């Protein structure tokens, strides 16, 4: 076999002494915790990957535990005894609202409605509605409160059960005066929408049924 020239021997010797970092140390944890040495770089990279992977796993675990918590929510015994207890579905969604004595009597379940008929104080005004105006309502026509058809559910600040109440749309068919104003926050809802009421001379409110009988609005949906 031909001998290598001295210059090539020097190159070979230099190559033998070059240390290449092991990016995938064996065993897997070999590089972790090493302050230096040729496995330090590989250990640091592996530590980052392990940390990120572990974090991802914890997120999944947290989401799983959160889901389990929701499934485990049970209606307390005192709320089960209310005159009109909420369904499990509504209770799970609005647990904090139902448990808040600001909104519900915790013994009877009586609803504590917002003061000032739900208006933000000072925002009420009397205006005339004209034929063709569309209004709507969550709840049966025995109630009195209406809103512009375009208002979203949260800005109406309705009680939780209203979410499952029948929905109606009405159309104004004759000019009539109403009181309108900004809706105050309540039931942990932001409010900010517009509510519309027609008051009687004695201060009581007209029901939707009465407005229909007076032929100033008509039901168009459903």
Q: What is the pLDDT of residues 93-122, one digit of tens each?
A: 999 999 999 999 999 999 999 999 999 999
| Token duo for residue 136 | 């709507």
pLDDT tens, position by position, 9-64: 554 555 455 554 444 444 333 333 333 333 333 333 333 333 333 344 443 444 34
Encode pLDDT of 163-198 as tens digits: 999 999 999 999 999 999 999 999 999 999 999 999
% the chain with pLDDT above 90: 67
Q: What is the pLDDT of residue 27?
A: 39
195 is catalytic: yes
Calculate the alpha carbon distances from 86 to 95, 138, 141, 176, 186 in Å: 10, 17, 21, 37, 18
The residue-averaged pLDDT of 74-94 equals 97
Compute the distance between CA of residue 117 and CA of residue 181 in angstroms, rounded to an integer.
10
Q: Which is the catalytic residue, given 189, 195, 204, 219?
A: 195
Would you call 137 a catalytic residue per the annotation?
Answer: yes
Q: What's residue 72's pLDDT? A: 72
Residue predicted with more confidence, 82 or 27: 82
Catalytic member of 137, 164, 189, 204: 137
pTM of the complete model: 0.67
CB 222 within 8 A of CB 168: yes
């Amino acid at each position: 076999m031909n001998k290598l020239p001295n210059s090539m021997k020097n190159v070979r010797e230099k190559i033998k002494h070059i240390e290449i970092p092991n990016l995938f140390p064996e065993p897997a944890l070999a590089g972790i915790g090493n302050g230096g040495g040729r496995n330090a770089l590989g250990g640091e990279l592996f530590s980052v990957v392990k940390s990120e992977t572990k974090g991802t796993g914890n997120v999944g675990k947290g989401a799983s535990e959160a889901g389990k918590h929701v499934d485990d929510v049970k209606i307390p015994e005192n709320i089960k005894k209310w005159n009109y207890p909420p369904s499990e579905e509504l209770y799970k969604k609005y647990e904090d609202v139902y448990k808040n004595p600001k909104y519900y009597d915790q013994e009877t379940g009586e609803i504590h409605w917002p003061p000032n008929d739900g208006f933000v104080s000072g925002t009420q005004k009397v205006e005339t509605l004209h034929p063709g105006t569309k209004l709507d309502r969550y709840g049966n026509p025995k109630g009195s409160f209406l809103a512009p058809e375009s208002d979203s559910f949260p800005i109406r600040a309705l009680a939780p059960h209203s979410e499952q109440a029948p929905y109606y749309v009405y159309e104004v068919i004759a000019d009539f005066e109403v009181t309108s104003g900004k809706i105050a926050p309540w039931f942990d809802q932001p409010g900010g929408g517009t509510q519309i009421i027609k008051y009687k001379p004695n201060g009581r409110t007209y029901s939707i049924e009465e407005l229909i009988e007076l032929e100033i609005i008509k039901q168009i949906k459903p």
